[in-house]
Structure 1
Amino acid sequence: MNFEITRDSLLDGLNDVMKAISQKVANPILTGVKIAVEDKGMTMTGSDSDITICTFIPSEKDGEQIINVKQTGSIILQAKMFNEIVRKLPTNEVTIVVENGTHAHISSGKSEFHLIGSNADDYPILPSVKDDHSFSLPADLLKSVIRETVFAVSQAETRPILTGVHWETVDDKLICVATDSHRLAKREITPEVMSEIPFSVVIPGKSLQELNKILADNSNLIEIVIADQQILFKTANVQFYSRLLEGNYPDTSRLIPAEHKTSVTVNGKQLLQAIDRASLLARDERNNIVRFSANEGNIIEITSNSPEIGKVEESIEAIEVVGEDLKISFSAKYMMDALKAIEGQNIVIQFTGAMRPFILKAVDSEAILQLILPVRTF
């Protein structure tokens, strides 16, 4: 293998595949990055067996030559070391030559590195994903769906299924739900082209967070292919594979109250800022609680109390308060996460009682729904 490549292009590709590489893997070969060079370009692959990322760098782009391939071939190089070397190379011109199948010579300017790699044939074969369930979403919409749900997955491994986001088709809609049993985030969308065969899968939250870092903030379509144990997200030059979580996701629809006793309409940005200030005294994880009071006077009072530090009181004017007077306590962090997901629009919060779950949604849209369980303090 013998080729020349621009360092910037090599780094861009490495930035993507490194998101799938972990030093804590059962198979040592997965601490490496697989590099395969053909006349049309170079493919790099990284995997931790849960996530696999393949990125393709074309030999030529927009009339500019990026890779000059003198001899095709493939090798596995220790990913962390290779990445650090490329970052510190002195010029943008990089030459990589592989001899005897496993000896790589990396040169740039007056710097030259010699790395011992592994045979590319030892790298695991990519997951097989058939186009049984296939549909597309614009990249910016997919990023929004991830941002509005993934924060609510469970961080505890006691119920592994809750560490993922449930994606399910209902009629022509895609419904995405995450819950850690203390809160719930739900997002509904109607893709222009939906999979003809209904599906119900649970995607690890960690996978979606890494995918979100790779996706560009544009309207380019991302093809999504679902198989038995894998899901594949395909962009122009990146293929992102993730395993799916096994098991049945709980029926969360029964958690969402069908009626309410108090409804508060308020500017989401103002409420977020008020709770953010109130939470300054509630940063301790065990004491991350704010108290929320509302009555028909349209004034919302938000208070937080820390015995060691002091007390904070906030008042903001609601757009409308309808129903019974209310006093309720909840996690400041959970409330702020929910408000950020709805992005500062005017929101309506519907309460069914001081110890019952309450929901938040935008005034003019049912697409995003957030649910939070209160905390007993009164």
Structure 2
Amino acid sequence: MLFKIQREQLLAPLNQICGVVEKKGTLPILSHVLFSINEDELRLTTSDLEVEMNSFTSVDTEFQGEMTLPAQKLLEICKSLPDGSIMEFSLDDNHCVIKSGDSRFSLSTLPANDYPLLEDVETFETVTIHSTHLSRMLKQTIFCMASHDVRYFLNGLLFEILNDKIRCVSADGHRLALSETDYVNQAGISKQILIPRKGVMELNKMIRDVDQDIAIHLGKNHVSIEVEGTQMTSKLIDGKFPDYQTVIPLDMENDFIADKVQLERALRRVAILSNEQYKGVKFKISTNHLQILGHNPDQEQAEDSIEVQTSITDMETAFNVGYLLDAINVIESDQVQFSFKDPLSSCLIKHPDRLDCRLVVMPLRI
């Protein structure tokens, strides 16, 4: 026997790190998890060559060494066993045999020496932020990241430290999201890094139920974060994020403030009959009144109205309803403010009294 471990001791770290596992990758070993045992500590590692996850737990063993196992299959085995089960691992030629009670599994292994670990990881600066602030900023920006865009610098999140602020910014070419928090910048750090999409998603998962300070270690090519026994190291996107400040509209002469719940429900109702491809809805704004209209190629139409606070007397504009719903859902307020320069300009969506979260949506022509 190589080692034995309680099911829950293995299941928790596997759940933390299996999100980066390549399910249909070209490199078979990336579908495996690397087991590294040193004395009584077990380190589990997964990687997709861009993001590397490590999780640590204790183990009962005299074995010292490494092996790999298929990550998703091992995770499903752990999930299927009863609570409190003891799992015993042993090697048989090129297979690892797992026994637990009357259950027996034989999994194929691959050479541990072939597992590709991130190299040359250097970090030079550390930023500490409480998990609740970081979680809020991610929630308010993560939905706006591009996916597989040829403009590779959009396929991730801008993390910026400047003066007394930490900002997260994302954009996909049609919309932009910015969220910020105050930061005591004693070291005078001024830095921008671009974290790839998968790294951002894993970070968001790591801090979801955590209430503690998070140390973010910044380097030239990598970022590293450790939370409750799980460490994520991610390569950075080598590119320059667009000047987001120029995208955020200024000097807007027109705005309205709406009840968030009423607006969301009206948008969802009209969205039912909006064009399935473009999801466009039209806003007709008049004195203290917002009319929302949608239609589709089958000549079907939907219309809804809500009362709003506004000085606009007559204005029409249009937007992707999905983008609007994404934006208003992350505003932490009972009310939401929409601001416009003119009917053909982008729209700024924010809290009526704060600027810590700003969302920009480009208009449609319908």
**TM-score, normalized by length of structure 2?**
0.92
One-letter code of the match for 1:23?
K
Q: 1: CA distance between counterparts of 2:88 and 2:186?
A: 45
Q: Does 1:361 align with 2:350?
A: yes
Q: 2: CA distance between counterparts of 1:21 and 1:194?
A: 38
Q: Specify the alignment match of 2:45 in structure 1.
A: 45
Q: Specify the alignment match of 1:310 in structure 2.
A: 300
Q: 1: CA distance between counterparts of 2:235 and 2:74?
A: 26
Shift of 1:372: 0.8
Q: 2: CA distance between counterparts of 1:254 and 1:324?
A: 28
Shift of 1:78: 2.2
Structure 1: runs of 5 or more not aligned: 60-66
Q: Specify the alignment match of 1:370 in structure 2.
A: 359
Shift of 1:323: 4.2
Residues 97-152 of structure 1: per-residue CA shift (max 9 Å, x gap): 2467x542211002222334233233223444434121122223222211111211
What secondary structure sits across from 2:294 in the alignment?
A: strand
Q: 1: CA distance between counterparts of 2:187 and 2:258?
A: 38
Q: Specify the alignment match of 1:331 in structure 2.
A: 320
Q: Does 1:241 align with 2:230?
A: no
Q: Specify the alignment match of 2:8 in structure 1.
A: 8
Q: Specify the alignment match of 2:36 in structure 1.
A: 36
Distance 1:194 1:333, change over 3 A: farther
Shift of 1:201: 1.1
Q: Is the 8 A contact 2:142 2:157 kept in 1?
A: yes
Q: Specify the alignment match of 1:292 in structure 2.
A: 283
Structure 2: runs of 5 or more not aligned: none
One-letter code of the match for 1:184?
L
Q: Specify the alignment match of 1:189 in structure 2.
A: 181
Identity %: 27
Shift of 1:329: 0.7
Residues 145-186 of structure 1: per-residue CA shift (max 9 Å, x gap): 111112112234221111111122221211221111211101
Q: Does 1:23 align with 2:27?
A: no
- Which of 86, 94, 100 aligns to 1:93? It is 86
Q: Is the 8 A contact 1:136 1:194 kept in 2?
A: no
One-letter code of the match for 1:72?
Q
Q: Specify the alignment match of 1:56 in structure 2.
A: 56
Residues 286-325 of structure 1: per-residue CA shift (max 9 Å, x gap): 3x111112122x111111122416221111111x202452
One-letter code of the match for 1:37?
I
Q: Specify the alignment match of 2:244 in structure 1.
A: 252
Distance 1:23 1:89, change over 3 A: same
Distance 1:172 1:40, change over 3 A: farther
**TM-score, normalized by length of structure 1?**
0.90
Q: Is the 8 A contact 2:180 2:356 kept in 1?
A: yes
Deviates more, 1:161-170 or 1:306-315: 306-315
